[in-house]
Amino acid sequence: MTTTTEKDPTMTPRTDLLTAVINLDLPGPRISRHIYGHFAEHLGRCIYGGFYVGEDSSIPNEGGIRLDVVEALRALKIPNLRWPGGCFADEYHWRDGIGPRDERPRMVNSHWGDIVEDNSFGTHEFMQLCELLGADPYVSGNVGSGTVQEMSEWVEYLTRADESPMATLRRSNGRDEPWDLPFFGLGNEAWGCGGNMTAPGYAHLARQYATYVRNHGDRPVYKIAAGANVEDYRWTETLMKALADLGGAGATQHQHFQALSLHYYTYNQSWEDKGDATSFDTEAYYTTMKRARRMEELIRNHAAVMDSYDPERTIGLVVDEWGTWWNVEEGTNPGFLYQQNTLRDALVASVHFDIFHRFADRVVMANIAQTVNVLQAMILTDPDSGALVLTPSYHVFEMNSGHHDADSLSVGIKGTVPTRDVEGSALPLFSASASVTGDTALVSLSNLDESTARTVVLDLRGRTVTGSSARVLNAPTLQTHNTPENPDAVAPVAHTGIRDHAHGLEVDLPAHSYVTVQLHLGSAG
């Protein structure tokens, strides 16, 4: 394959302007900070060598947890972390991961590399990690190979404060006070690695297991059923009907599950040959972006199924696995799913967040797969030197942190959005979203055109704008990525291509770039 030729990211924008109309005084549904969630599975070097290096490591750590990784993720205001899987969750037995580490039994991680897992990172280590991160824990329980009792006792171990058997066991392992457990998953991918179940079979089990995930503390556990893969709308309907058969989704949500999940990955070629992370041509880039934008179709259609049973939208949709999936890097274990991360991956992330923002009334959480050293990671760590690299995707999360718990704003487009024919249909080459919190608004703009810069007018209505600033994430080529030798090849910088306009602001968008504009707001105007 050929690679994109180097281009000047400051090239002169075109004059055929687009206008994005934003009514700053008309807030829509709130964007939950939890759509910026993360995912850490016992897979490759995500846990061991990523989050956890052990107490004897020369890398600064607390209880074996890497402090540089913690610091980097705290800068993202990471809202939640999903663990222990993924496919690993449905072969994980939590009692194996408590007590003295040298006495914990070993197991085979049959899904990811067929390696021996020593369980040195278990429940206490994960909850300590979440406390260091300031993140809510999202624990995935074992439905595939576990039991109702096992799951019920894990929740009791985590959350009960009195002298119950599991609370007593927790205290014997060094933790007196219970933890807060905001989110709990009822298995993972029950249609596949989580048990190869049918939709009716899993729906029955989800109701059964959820019954025994009891609330032992003051904060109810938000239970998430293992939902559909890609366009399996029948699976979604079966789960929603399982609630409706008991008297309606809204009436029973306190007894059973409060959300269901959706999984969708972006890759370029086929499941067997997903394409290379860094060596790709222009057509492969555009195919990737088309497939990334398919997330909007999937959410819209799953939401429509959910609406027919739950018109008040009391049941949430949790996209707890999303992101790019490429062929593993040459010379690495195929079961470890280690891949590089380029500017292309960053644009995949920016487009996804625009979509999640538009469906803020239904999408209550999302989890990028995964946080460290696996798939579309935020952080890559070098196994030899221990060096830490922030990826282009990390920077999109950081640039978007102003959207956390903000009220969404509709972005109306005047003018013709540029498109490109990809596999017989038109791919829009511009994406945007916006939100407001008090006297601050954030506008996110993605120019997906590989070669052409554009200028966008922000037609800002309803409130006065007293000040603005912008940042841009860009690089000479889409294949550019960060390495220990060049850690800032793709990193955000202040953007000077922003000017006053009669209707608000004029913003230059370099080719293949991501730009955020922060607005300081005054009164209604």
The set of catalytic residues is: 189, 321
Q: How far apart are CA 122 and CA 97, in angstroms?
A: 4
Kindly report the CA angle at 222 between 217 and 224, in degrees rounded to 5?
Answer: 145
Return the HEC string of 496-515: CCEEEECCEEEEEECCCEEE
SS3 425: strand
Q: Count CB atoms within 10 A of the CB of residue 66.
A: 26
List of residues 6+ apart from 493 with CB closer than 8 A: 471, 472
Residue ranges in 219-315 assigned as alpha helix (H): 233-244, 249-252, 282-309
Q: Count CB atoms within 10 A of the CB of residue 65.
A: 22
The amino acid occupying position 25 is D
Residue 454 near residue 447, CB atoms below 8 Å: yes
CA distances 66 to 37, 39, 88, 212, 372, Å, are: 19, 17, 22, 35, 11
Six-digit token string for 401: 């942190």
Return the residue matching tokens 């990211």: 9
CB-based burial of residue 424 (10 Å sphere; 0-12 exposed, 13-18 middle, 19+ buried)?
Answer: exposed
